[in-house]
Amino acid sequence: MNTFGIEAKASEFVEVHSEDELIKLLKEVNTKALFILSGGSNMLLTKDIDALVIHNKIKGIHSEILAEENKVLLSVGSGENWHDFVQYCIHKDYGGIENLSLIPGYVGSAPIQNIGAYGVELKDTFYNCDAVEIKSAKKVTFSKEDCDFGYRDSIFKNGAKNKYIITQVRFILSTANHNLNIHYGAIKSELENKGIINPKIRDISEAVITIRKSKLPDPNEIGNSGSFFKNPVIKVSHFNTLREKYPEIPSYPIDKKNIKVPAGWLIEKSGFKGKRWGDAGVHHKQALVLVNYGNASGKEIKELAEKIQKTVKSNFDIALETEVNIF
């Protein structure tokens, strides 16, 4: 139940299939320690879980064509698999999330870290979400503004952290004249390779799937949680100093004072790419992805992550923050 393939035991475990079932359960469990489990694709378990694990199985996709031209509102159960939902939309020709193809995890976790890939983020099509407050077992709706989305960030990682369980997520997608996002270099060249001049959303989804498969390990084959660290944002002055020593350092502008640097480059430059300690390693095609080759423990992966953080800090004076949640 975790894509890193780590062995860990839960002291208690329950599945919930609807919001009503969840509300009933929360009223019964009262002050018990809880652990909310969705797709298990963004977490590293370093020990057994001494809590009641609630596994989200809230399913269902409902669509409503809006009066606004070419728009559809989709309301999706938080326990739906994200990629299956993306494929459902491609099949129906609903545009807006095709660049987010093949991201592991469930729909309900997507707003928590504002998932993003190839120039698109969840927030671009997000409308609102329903959640249940754990303490009161009451239902609340969070608008897009309430969610306070940022780069791999939202209110659910800050003020609302561990306080709510998301049950439904709503998106507004396009039904025609899709606003395609094909500017990301790798997508452009993948479409060119295939000789596609006027891409449809399905072509973009397929291009993204090809790119992801070529770079990122399949969790069904090699345990991993995608990007282990966030791409750090540093001061432009700091970047300029680094560029004197490393003229080839890649970067993405943020604003006048800040600039983002790919963590994968910092890790590769620090010599970790493709290295392995026992069954814990750094992927050979994408240094931002830590992998479990079989029987690594969560502790071993965590130790490797700390070794990387220490080395990157000493080489570049940059503190890498984890993107994956460590328990």
Please identify which of the residues 225, 227, 270, 297 carries the catalytic annotation: 227
User: Residue from 133, 268, 279, 303 that binds ligand EPU (CB under 6 A)?
Assistant: 268
Q: Which residues pair with 221 in a beta bridge?
A: none
What are the structure tokens assigned to 201, written together?
A: 């959303």
- The Cα 156–Cα 165 span in angstroms is 9
Find out whether 287 and 228 touch, Cβ atoms under 8 Å. no
Amino acid letter for position 75: S
227 is annotated as an active-site residue:
yes
**Cβ closest to ligand EPU, residue 132 vs residue 305:** 305
User: Residue from 223, 226, 281, 298 that binds ligand EPU (CB under 6 A)?
Assistant: 226
274 binds ligand EPU (CB under 6 A): no
User: Residue from 154, 174, 286, 292 that binds ligand EPU (CB under 6 A)?
Assistant: 286
- In the DSSP assignment, the letter for residue 17 is -
Find out whether 239 and 261 touch, Cβ atoms under 8 Å. yes
Find out whether 95 and 177 touch, Cβ atoms under 8 Å. no
264 binds ligand EPU (CB under 6 A): yes
**Cβ closest to ligand EPU, residue 205 vs residue 286:** 286
297 binds ligand EPU (CB under 6 A): no
- The Cα 8–Cα 45 span in angstroms is 7
Site string for ligand EPU, 157-176 (x = CB under 6 A): --------------------
User: Residue from 262, 275, 276, 322 that binds ligand EPU (CB under 6 A)?
Assistant: 262
**Is residue 41 exposed (0-12), middle (13-18) or buried (19+ Cβ within 10 Å)?**
buried
251 is annotated as an active-site residue:
no
User: Residue from 101, 167, 168, 231 that binds ligand EPU (CB under 6 A)?
Assistant: 231
The torsion region of residue 159 among left (phi > 0), alpha (psi -120 to 50) and beta comes to alpha
154 is annotated as an active-site residue:
no
Greatest C-alpha distance within the chain? 61
Residue ranges binding ligand EPU (CB under 6 A): 117-118, 215, 226-227, 230-231, 250, 262, 264-265, 268, 273, 286-288, 323
What residues are annotated to the active site? Answer: 152, 227, 323
